[in-house]
Amino acid sequence: MLGLILRRLSISAVILLVVSMLVFVATLLLPGDPAQAILGQQATPERLEALREQMNLNDPFAQRYLHWLGGLFVGDFGVSAASGGSVAALLGDRIAASLVLMVAAAAISIPVGILVGTYSALRRGKAGDHAATGISLVLAALPDFVIGIALVTLFSTTVFTVLPSVTMAPPGEQVWDYPSQLILPVLTLVLVVMPYIIRMMRTTMIEVLDSGYVEMARLKGVPERQVIWRHALPHAIAPVAQVVAIQLAWLAGGIVVVEFLFRYPGVGQALVDAVTNRDVQVVQALAMLIAAVYVVVNLFADIVGIVTNPKLRTGGIR
Amino acid sequence: MTTIDTPTETIAAPPGLLRRIIRQRQARIGLAFTGIIVLVAVAGPLLLPWLTGYTSTEFTGRPFQPDGVFGTDNLGRDILSRFLDGGLTLLVFAALATALGMLLGTAAGMLAAYQGGKLDSIIMRGNDVLLALPQLVFALLAITVLGPQGWVVVLVIGITHAPRIARVTRSAASAVITEDFIRASEMYAVPRWKILLKDVLPNITGPLMVELGLRMTYSIAAIASLSFLGLGMQPPTADWGLMINENRIALTLQPWGVILPVLAIAILTVGSNLITDAVARASATVEESK
């Protein structure tokens, strides 16, 4: 089992390395000179040359790549072409703000999704199940910004005006000091992520409920509550863990649109701004950051899968 | 009993699949939803000058006024005209991106499954790398480098769909490839591309159709999202995603500029998802009856 996990780990490392090359090649394709972009058209040739030297732009390509890659490990993401400041300073608070959003969305959507999916499976074919599957089918189809705007029109501008639709924390204060501003962005993410968890949970739960051991437990007179909580649910959770991981990984990219919609001062908003300004250093750093989250979450799900799967457990001994 | 039914079932499978899809109520609802929006998107630009009196980029008055049927937008253009003109590019781009993704994905998936060995692992490892970047982030990276242009959006959405489609194709095709009729074709020295096209492809249409529907839904969402972020279609083009971006500052004052395109995109994606779900159910029952 340990061997399998180590193999999986090394695959993830290689994938991240290739992604980093892919992301770095993007700089090469970009027309224009980063030093010129930072200093502007009026810069003197001497200053340009000095900055180029400082940014290592005169070095050969491979050396620049290694320098950039080494910088990623120690938190040095380079210099932003748009602001002239360091990318790490620009992103510091934003990473925390985005994590708050992701963790809150995951903490709500995973348990609620599992509960609704289980409920739906238990009431298979009845009205409650039809409502749950129908709503999750519709929600799964809707793009995230459509859900977000629907919530804004419902709760903040047109129907009820109870919740703020934009995040406006004064500079220096943290977003979580204003919990009411977090409600709509988090709710949007929850509604985007949850349908997949509900559907997967319902499918696996139905499979488990039809299985021999659940019938056995029922036949020998185990109370229904215990059948569900002790016998059925733990077996249905394992495949759902995969879907949960995919959804968590999706959150890493999905926050981009939601943050832009609610003007939330997080990583996603920074990414959109950077793309609009063609600020390559920032885009590269964020793409790597998001890819890293994505790969690590998937790795984690696979490890959970390896650990919980008895077949793979014995396979590792050989 | 089932053994006697089997041959007739498999022969009747192609027309049966379509009939099975249509027989479901949700497929009919989905078809109606998608049909309405496609009709609006296709007919809208044709009807434009005479139906509303304005073209989609003509200034008709002051911004955010209740003139006309649905008022004016952020620059004082007629919202209804822009709405009617704004769907076609989204649909065409989404269709092109999906087609590109399906083409690349099925080709790569079938090759990987049929060829096996080194080519298989190269293709699948390449997939893993592409899958390590979320679709939207990949698109944003490409747009940073190449600029927000139509072909960039289509290309990047198509390419990011391909690995996901390739995975499905590969697993579906590897079940077919062990069949005897493939062996027979190989013995007659039928060229490889012909085996893939004539023997393998027709036997994996079920999962591919599900994938087609799914990817179409995601393409629409992804392209509309990029336009919404201001990084897809560029002004002054009339486009649903862009309209939402332009008019959302006045959501309280003049909500139609946002609500119309949001509703259209919602109905379209829900419709195509309903169809996809119906196809998935229909092809699943075909599989079971085999």
Output b/e per residue, A52-80; b: 16+ Cβ within 10 A: beebeeeeeeeebbeebeeebeeeebbbb
Please tell me the predicted confidence (pLDDT) of residue B93: 92
Query: What is chain A's pLDDT, residue by residue, as a tens digit (318 residues)?
Result: 777 788 888 888 888 888 888 888 876 776 666 666 666 667 777 777 777 776 666 667 777 788 778 877 777 777 776 666 777 777 777 888 888 888 888 899 989 998 898 889 888 888 888 888 888 888 888 888 889 888 888 887 766 766 776 666 666 666 666 777 788 888 999 998 898 889 888 888 888 888 888 888 889 888 888 888 887 887 777 778 777 887 887 787 788 888 888 888 888 888 888 888 877 778 888 888 888 888 888 888 777 777 766 665 554 443
Eight-state DSSP code of residue A176:
G
Least confident of A171-180, B29-38, B168-177, B225-234: A171-180
A295 interaction partners in chain B (CB closer than 8 Å): 132
* CB proximity A54 to B under 8 Å: no
Q: Is the pLDDT of residue B173 over 80?
A: yes
pLDDT of res. A316: 43
Residues in chain B: 290
Other CB atoms within 10 A of residue A42 CB: 6
Does A29 contact B146 at a Cβ distance shorter than 8 Å? yes
Tell me the Ramachandran region of residue B73: left when phi exceeds 0, alpha when psi lies from -120 to 50, beta otherwise. beta
Distance CA B82, CA B64 (A): 14
Nearest by CB to residue A18, choosing from B129, B143, B221, is B129
State which residue of chain B sits closest to A157, comparing Cα positions.
B252
The pTM score is 0.83
pLDDT tens-place string over residues A274-312: 888 877 778 888 888 888 888 888 888 777 777 766 665
Token couple for A86 = 């360091």
Chain B neighbors of A245, CB-CB under 8 A:
none
User: How far apart are the CA of B15 and the nearest CA of chain A, in angstroms?
Assistant: 26
* DSSP letter string, A259-273: HHHTT--SHHHHHHH
Identify all chain B residues contacting A296, using CB atoms and an 8 Å cutoff. Answer: none
Q: For residues A150 and A128, give the distance between their C-alpha atoms in angstroms, rounded to a whole number.
A: 24
Min Cα separation B171/chain A (Å): 18
Which of A146, A154, A158, A280 is the mutation pick for testing B, counting most B CBs within 10 A? A146
Share of chain B above pLDDT 90, in %: 13
Q: Is some CB atom of chain A closer than 8 A to the CB atom of B184?
A: no
Interface test with A, best of B135, B136, B275 (most A CBs within 10 A): B136
- Indicate the fold that domain A88-278+285-313 takes in CATH: MetI-like fold (1.10.3720)
Q: Does B137 touch chain A (CB under 8 A)?
A: yes
Distance of CA B1 to the CA centre of its chain: 41
Q: Which single residue is written with the structure tokens 């502007």?
A: A40
The nearest alpha carbon in chain A to B138 belongs to A287
Q: Determine whether the interchain pair A256/B146 forms a contact, defined as Cβ–Cβ distance below 8 Å.
A: no
| Cα-to-chain-centroid distance, residue B6 | 34
Q: Does A8 touch chain B (CB under 8 A)?
A: no
Q: How far is CA A29 from CA A48, A60, A170, in A?
A: 20, 15, 38
Closest CA to A132 of A187, A195, A192, A190: A195
Q: Which of B217, B255, B277 sits opposite A153 (nearest CB)?
A: B255
Tokens read off for B178: 């062990």
The full set of domain ranges for chain A reads: 88-278+285-313
The length of chain A is 318
Q: What is the mean pLDDT of residues B104-114?
A: 89
Pair of tokens at residue B128: 């893993």
Q: Measure the N-to-C terminal CA separation of chain B; round to a whole number of Å.
A: 13
What are the chain A neighbours of B277 within 8 Å (beta carbons)?
137
Q: B205-228 and A144-152 helices cross at what angle (nearest 10)?
A: 50
For the stretch B235-266, pLDDT in tens is: 777 888 888 888 887 777 777 878 888 899 99
Read off the pLDDT of residues B174-208 as tens digits, 9 standing for 90 and up.
Answer: 888 888 888 888 888 888 888 888 888 888 888 88
B65-91 pLDDT, tens digit each? 766 667 777 777 777 888 888 888 889
Residues of A in contact with B133 (CB under 8 A): 19, 22, 287, 290-291, 294
Say which residue the tokens 């004016």 belong to.
Answer: B72
Q: Are B44 and B54 in contact (CB under 8 A)?
A: no
Q: What gap in Å lies between CA A138 and CA A198, rounded to an integer?
A: 13
How many pairs of residues across A and B have Cβ atoms under 8 Å apart?
Answer: 128
**Which of A15, A146, A256 lies at the smallest CB-CB distance from B262?**
A146
Least CB-CB distance to A26: which of B145, B231, B274? B145
Question: Residue B1: its pLDDT value, please?
Answer: 40
Q: Do A18 and B248 touch (CB under 8 A)?
A: no
B134 touches chain A (CB under 8 A): yes
Average pLDDT over residues B81-109: 90
Smallest CA–CA separation between B45 and chain A, in Å?
A: 24
Tokens found for residue A203 = 């499918």
Q: How far apart are CA B124 and CA A15, in angstroms?
A: 12
Contacts of B258 in chain A (CB under 8 A): 149, 153
- Contact call for A15 and B251, based on CB within 8 A: no
Nearest to A158 among B224, B252, B262 (CB): B252
Asked if this assembly's ipTM is beyond 0.85, the reply is: no
From the CA of A150, how many Å to the nearest CA of chain B? 8
Distance CA B33, CA B31 (A): 6
The per-type count for chain B, helices as H runs and strands as E runs, is: 13, 0
Inspect the interface and report whether the beta carbons of A257 and B228 lie closer than 8 Å: yes
A252 near B CB under 8 A: yes
The answer to whether the Cβ–Cβ distance between A278 and B252 falls below 8 Å is no
pLDDT for position B104: 93
Q: Under 8 Å CB-to-CB from B258, ≥6 apart: which residues?
A: A149, A153, B243, B244, B247, B248, B251
Q: Please return the burial class of A35, using the count of CB atoms within 10 Å of its CB with bins 0-12, 13-18 and 19+.
A: buried
Which of chain A's residues have a Cβ under 8 Å away from the Cβ of B159? none
Question: Are B83 and B240 a contacting pair, CB within 8 Å?
Answer: yes
Distances (CA, A) of B75 to B58, B229, B249: 10, 18, 12
- Give the residue among B47, B41, B204 at the shortest CA–CA distance from B114: B204
